[in-house]
Amino acid sequence: MSDEDISTEKVILEAAKKVFLDKGFDGARMQQIADEAGINKALLHYYFRSKDKLFDAIFEDAFMQFLPNISQIMVSDMEFSEKIRAFVGHYIDMLLNNPHLPIFIMRELQRNPEKIIEMMKKVGINPGSLASYLQKETEEGGVATIPMVHLIVNMIGLCVFPFIGRPIIEGFIFNNNTEAYNKFLVERKTMVADFVINAIQIK
């Protein structure tokens, strides 16, 4: 019982994640999720009573996965530039494994912005305290005095944007050459790090 139970639940969650991430809540169909999971619609409602409940389960997981664990790296004892290199590398790697994550999160948060409050409670991190910690470190370390909030947004944006803007970049810049686009994404692991490190160096 328990074995099958868990595995079926996981199969459903995986199928739901796939469909929801691709189509969004409004575009997703319960039937499609059932098909993807290899079960029928009735069983879907047997495990998760409603589309909303199923979606919530997916979204919470996805949001946690999307949240860069920036603190963990940034509070280590590396050189500041090495911290940036480590963060960018890890974060882009995660996005390469979950390319649909960013647009999904953004799309659904725009559909229901109040959700952000719910999420803030479930996550313990406090971006404010991290920012002031880093602000101090950079000021002491001969790094340009860019407000830390901007630096954090810049870093995340540089990592995330190429995934959100995939159709435009792949289609417009790379003439629909998927291979070139993927190579471009991998290149960015070093390219973005160099870019950021250079940007905050005092001349």
Partner DNA sequence: ATGTAATTTTACCAACTGGTTAAACTAATT
Partner DNA sequence: AATTAGTTTAACCAGTTGGTAAAATTACAT
Instruction: Write down the least CB distance from residue 140 to a second copy, Å.
Output: 20
Q: 74: Cβ–Cβ under 8 A, 6 or more apart, which residues?
A: 83, 87, 130, 133, 134
Beta carbons of 197 and 81 less than 8 angstroms apart: yes
Q: Of residues 8, 71, 135, 138, which one binds DNA by CB under 7 A?
A: 8
Instruction: State the Cα–Cα distance between residues 110 and 112, nearest whole angstrom.
Output: 5
Fill in the amino acid letter for 99.
Answer: P
Does 111 help bind DNA (rule: CB under 7 A)? no
Does 51 help bind DNA (rule: CB under 7 A)? yes
Instruction: State the Cα–Cα distance between residues 152 and 170, nearest whole angstrom.
Output: 26
The length of the chain in residues reads 203
DSSP 48: S
Binds 99, which of DNA, a second copy, none (CB < 5 to 8 A, cut-off by type)? none
Q: 165: Cβ–Cβ under 8 A, 6 or more apart, which residues?
A: none
Q: Of residues 45, 115, 166, 189, which one binds DNA by CB under 7 A?
A: 45
Q: Of residues 18, 22, 24, 30, which one binds DNA by CB under 7 A?
A: 30
Beta carbons of 134 and 74 less than 8 angstroms apart: yes
Interface residues with DNA (CB under 7 A) are 1, 3-5, 8, 28-31, 38-43, 45-47, 49-52
Interface residues with a second copy (CB under 8 A) are 23-24, 26-27, 103, 105-107, 109-111, 113, 115-117, 120, 127-128, 131, 144, 146-147, 149-150, 152-154, 156-158, 160-162, 164-169, 171-173, 175-176, 184, 187-188, 191-192, 194-196, 198-201, 203
